[in-house]
Amino acid sequence: MNTIEAMPPESASDTGSPTGTSPRSLISIKSVSKVYPNGTEAVRKVSLEVPGRPQFISLLGPSGCGKSTLLRMISGLERHTGGGIDWPTTPYDSKGRPLAEIGFVFQEPTLMPWASVFDNVYLPLRLKKHKKAVVRDQVMDALRMVGLEKFADSYPRELSGGMKMRVSIARALATRPKVLLMDEPFAALDEITRLKLNNDLLSLWEKQRLTVIFVTHSVFESAYLSDRIIVMAARPGRVIADIGIDAPYPRTEAYRTSSAYNEYCKEVSGLLKQAMAGVEDEH
Amino acid sequence: MDAMEQLAAPEPEDDAETPVAANGDRIRAVVHNVAFQMAPVIFGCLLLAVWEILVRINHVPPYILPGPLLIAETLYKDFGTLFPSLLITFRITVVAFAMAAIGGLLLGMLFASSRWIERSLFPYAVVLQVTPIVAIAPLIIIWAKDTQLALLICAWLVAFFPVVSNTAVGLNSTDRNLTQLFHLYGASKFQTMWMLKLPASMPYYLAGLRIAGGLALIGAVVAEFVAGTGGTQSGLAYRILEAGYRLQIPRMFAALVLISLTGVLIFAALSLLSRLILRKWHESAAGGH
């Protein structure tokens, strides 16, 4: 317990100042909490600044640390019960919801099995009442980004697990969002497919210059992908560290075997171990 | 050259032999497959043959049990009277089924749209379903001014329940993440219903329709039995009653054959419809891939 309390959020600024480079944040999360009606405290007073410049942020932690809950609160899928989530540079609608273009990728591909790949990717635009003929190129662009333009007329059941996940990512990109929220998107895939999709996601991120918030429980995945890792602990869910990963992009397999990568993995693993130890202390 | 020819010589033999072996296997597989497909037909023919033989050996009189050949003959001879009656029964069945298909879908959507409505109405839908149609039919026939209308109501009452309950289950079993995705992109209630819930419930709805098709026919026939109307507007059930009174047992059987065939036809047509609609995406219709 003490070890975690001894790790104040300020220590993050020592490790490379991931925040504050942009004068105005894209998302400003101020001591956000989530308590479920049954009394379970999923998230306690989490504060986080997501800068205006594109970042690849990983939310890393053991199960039950509230990382998915935090992501869902950012997306608006769940309401927070305390604190505030602001989009300072984004206009709001009449109901007080930010008009941010968000792409969300679930752990499962979550495709409509009755619709073709094209129609699945077209869905977000269709829901915003864009005519198919008008946005055809936009949908095909999204499919091209994930390398599936040849499968536009296929149906989900004809695709492999990795390809389905690509369709899911293409759908999230179809509205050309500023923020891509991903909730353990590759956790259900096999190792080889996951490594491949990691690389594809990175090159996509570099090209599109968007902010990615990526929930994962894999130290290696987060250290490979992100330029910033938020480490969270469970019971109650809270942020225990905010680390910048200063390795240059593009990252390739060479980075995966570099000593810098190993050092980051070691550091993050150590923090995670503290988080887990804290949980065991409480029991 | 010689050496090469010698080396090459055995190969054509090998090539020639393998296709033959493969062909043999393929023929055997085809025969096996056809036999498998025909198994019910073969069994049926066997059964009919045994029936015919038993009737003839034991000299069973036709007014107790006619043989299949006599039934076929009667069906051919009386087709002029039986077929128009079949059309009348069939018409009631189809209209009742269509009403069940549409009404069941709408009611299912109503149930799925509000827990209150479902909670309030569903028990009474169950009451209607479990009460034997034979018991309610006389009342309906008294209340409805027109007999045809009464028959229609009876057939509809039997057919609509599986459609309603299947639709309601289908609409409520939409993928949770997909529902959230629709919410995330600000989908309206109408969009969620039209683009997500309805397509997702299609397999359930179509399964309900397949059950309802057979039930509509049963409902129509049962109601006709109860109504017992003669004259020009009489359906197949009345032909059966009539033949029974006159001890024309072969004719009873002939009418029965027509009813069964109609039921099979309805089921096959609805199965085909279901397969055509779902074949692109649903495991039940797509077959191995």
Q: What is the pLDDT of residue A172?
A: 92
Say if the Cβ atoms of A115 and B191 lie within 8 Å: no
Task: Evaluate whether residue A105 is within a structural domain.
Answer: no
Looking at the structure, do residues A93 and A191 belong to the same domain, yes or no? Answer: yes
Please tell me whether the peptide bond between A62 and the residue prior to it is cis, using omega within 30 degrees of 0. no
How far does B209 lie from chain A, in Å, by closest CA? 19
Question: d(Cα B111, Cα B123) in Å, to the nearest integer?
Answer: 12
How far does B168 lie from chain A, in Å, by closest CA? 19
- Can you tell me the mean pLDDT for A47-76? 89
Say if the Cβ atoms of B199 and A108 lie within 8 Å: no
Contact residues for B284 (Cβ-Cβ < 8 A; gap 6+): B203, B274, B278
Chain B CB contacts of A124 under 8 Å are 185
* pLDDT band, very low/low/confident/very high, at A275 (cuts 50, 70, 90): confident
N-terminal to C-terminal alpha carbon distance within chain A: 11
Q: What is the pLDDT of residue B19?
A: 54
Q: Which pair of tokens denotes residue B240?
A: 């059966």
Looking at the structure, do residues A173 and A183 belong to the same domain, yes or no? Answer: no
* pLDDT band, very low/low/confident/very high, at A84 (cuts 50, 70, 90): confident
CA angle B1, B4, B5 (to 5 degrees): 85
Phi-psi category of residue A176: left, alpha or beta, with phi > 0 → left and psi -120 to 50 → alpha? left
Looking at the structure, do residues B16 and B100 belong to the same domain, yes or no? Answer: no
Looking at the structure, do residues B147 and B245 belong to the same domain, yes or no? Answer: yes
Strand-pairing partners, residue A239, are A232
With a cut of 50, say whether residue A17 has pLDDT above it. no
Give the number of domains in chain B. Answer: 2
- The partner residue sitting opposite B281, judged by closest CB among A77, A102, A114, is A114
Contact B196, B133 (CB under 8 A): no
Closest residue in A to B178 (Cα) is A110
Domain CATH for A54: 3.40.50.300
A155 touches B: beta carbon within 8 Å: yes
Task: Evaluate whether residue A200 is within a structural domain.
Answer: yes
Burial environment of residue A144 by CB neighbours within 10 A (0 to 12, 13 to 18, 19 or more): middle
Task: Evaluate whether residue B63 is within a structural domain.
Answer: no
Question: d(Cα B193, Cα A127) in Å, to the nearest integer?
Answer: 12
Q: In a 3-state reduction of DSSP, which class is residue B135?
A: helix
Contact A32, A80 (CB under 8 A): yes
> Domain range for residue A238?
2-100+179-282
Looking at the structure, do residues B38 and B91 belong to the same domain, yes or no? Answer: no
The pLDDT mean for chain A works out to: 84
Residue B141: CA atoms inside 13 Å, Cβ hemisphere, count? 18
Domain CATH for B277: 1.10.3720.10
Looking at the structure, do residues A162 and A186 belong to the same domain, yes or no? Answer: no
Q: What is the pLDDT of residues A113-156, one digit of tens each?
A: 999 999 999 999 999 889 999 999 999 999 998 889 899 999 99
Looking at the structure, do residues B205 and B276 belong to the same domain, yes or no? Answer: yes
Question: d(Cα A271, Cα A61) in Å, to the nearest integer?
Answer: 10
Q: Which pair of tokens denotes residue B82?
A: 């039986």
Say if the Cβ atoms of B178 and A75 lie within 8 Å: no
A167 touches B: beta carbon within 8 Å: no
Looking at the structure, do residues B53 and B160 belong to the same domain, yes or no? Answer: no
Chain A interface test: which of B174, B185, B283 (most A C-beta within 10 Å) = B185
Task: Evaluate whether residue B62 is within a structural domain.
Answer: no
Give the pTM: 0.79
Contact B161, B96 (CB under 8 A): no
Question: d(Cα A85, Cα A73) in Å, to the nearest integer?
Answer: 8
- Can you tell me the mean pLDDT for A225-254? 86
Q: Which pair of tokens denotes residue B89?
A: 């029964």
Q: In a 3-state reduction of DSSP, which class is residue B209?
A: helix
Q: What is the pLDDT of residue A188?
A: 84
Give the number of domains in chain A. Answer: 2
Contact B216, B93 (CB under 8 A): yes
Of the ranges A3-7, A208-212, A235-239, which one carries the lowest mean pLDDT score? A3-7
Say if the Cβ atoms of A157 and B281 lie within 8 Å: yes
Say if the Cβ atoms of B182 and A104 lie within 8 Å: no
Nearest to B159, CA basis, from B239, B105, B204:
B105
Spans in chain B with pLDDT lower than 70: 1-22, 229-233, 285-289
> Domain range for residue B18?
2-57
Looking at the structure, do residues B120 and B51 belong to the same domain, yes or no? Answer: no
Closest residue in A to B191 (Cα) is A127
Closest residue in B to A154 (Cα) is B280
State the sign of the Cα–Cα–Cα–Cα dihedral A142, A143, A149, A154.
negative
- Between residues A283 and A234, the one the model is more confident about: A234
Of the ranges A122-131, A193-202, A269-278, B96-105, which one carries the lowest mean pLDDT score? A269-278
* pLDDT band, very low/low/confident/very high, at A31 (cuts 50, 70, 90): confident
